Amino acid sequence: MEEEIETPRDPKPCGPLEEYRIPDYVLRPDAQQVLVDHAPQCPVLVFINSKSGGQLGSSLIKTYRELLNEAQVIDLSEEAPDKVLQRLYVNVERLKMEGDILAVQIWRTMRLIVAGGDGTASWLLGVVSDLKLSHPPPIATVPLGTGNNLPFSFGWGKKNPSTDQEAVKLFLGLVKHAKEIKIDSWHLILRMRAPKEGPCEPIAPLELPHSLHAFHRVSSGDSHDVEGYHTFRGGFWNYFSMGDGCRNILCISY
């Protein structure tokens, strides 16, 4: 007699937060696959700099993990965003090959949230741009630094957020209904005359400001390479604001 084994169902969180929640098996390749009734309307992947905003960063991580799947809330002091997104993308591609339509829907509708200062937000923008994903997710910014110029420019204000559950629920609702807008990525060429003696090495990549992305030395066969010079190329984000605007999430196009 054959025994019928039922596939476990993903436990549902209480309240309306189901529409933001991403199942474990989509986030982690080692998680057990579960049946989900329908795809969340606005799945989010949350990146938080726990060192930003004094103790606010750590408090915000705690609240988001209480309301969502813990695995979809990433502490940037523990794991870099490029590793997280690469792992997720590879896993979604695997699930897609297996015919999992829900995983593909989650990837296509997913929005990123980044909480930190301007450097943290620019870091995530640069990572998403440099990965050159076929469908780069839009990014909402939580002002959690000192200047908070980038969040302010796109309608999220400059004031550090409250970290209680009601405040986080309100913010998630704003992210769900936010308008997508493109952000300018400017590219630059940096050329320095090569010394006649001794090496000429650039600043180590880890010491570069996060506002610069894809910054590297061009190869000898590159059209921008000039004899007698060391040439580097990269990009940075350009934005400004005039008055208070509506809330926008940032889209990267290639």
What the chain holds in terms of domains, given with CATH numbers, is 17-184+242-252 (3.40.50.10330), 187-236 (no CATH)
Position 241 scores a pLDDT of 66
Angstrom distance (rounded) from CA 185 to CA 191: 20
H/E stretch holding 240: none
* Matching residue, tokens 């001794």: 198
What letter represents residue 215's amino acid? F
Position 87 scores a pLDDT of 94
- Long-range contacts of range 101-107, CB-CB < 8 Å, 24 or more positions apart? 102/26, 102/36, 102/38, 102/39, 103/26, 105/39, 106/22, 106/26, 106/39, 106/40, 106/43, 107/135, 107/137
Position 7 scores a pLDDT of 38
C-beta of residue 170 within 8 angstroms of C-beta of residue 205: no
Position 59 scores a pLDDT of 94
Position 77 scores a pLDDT of 93
Angstrom distance (rounded) from CA 139 to CA 252: 9
Profile the chain (254 residues) by mean pLDDT over runs of 10 residues: 40 64 92 82 95 87 95 95 94 93 93 92 88 88 88 87 94 93 81 70 53 73 80 77 69 64
Position 152 scores a pLDDT of 86
Position 174 scores a pLDDT of 94
Task: Return the half-sphere exposure (C-beta side, CA atoms, 13 A cut-off) of residue 139.
Answer: 29
Position 209 scores a pLDDT of 63
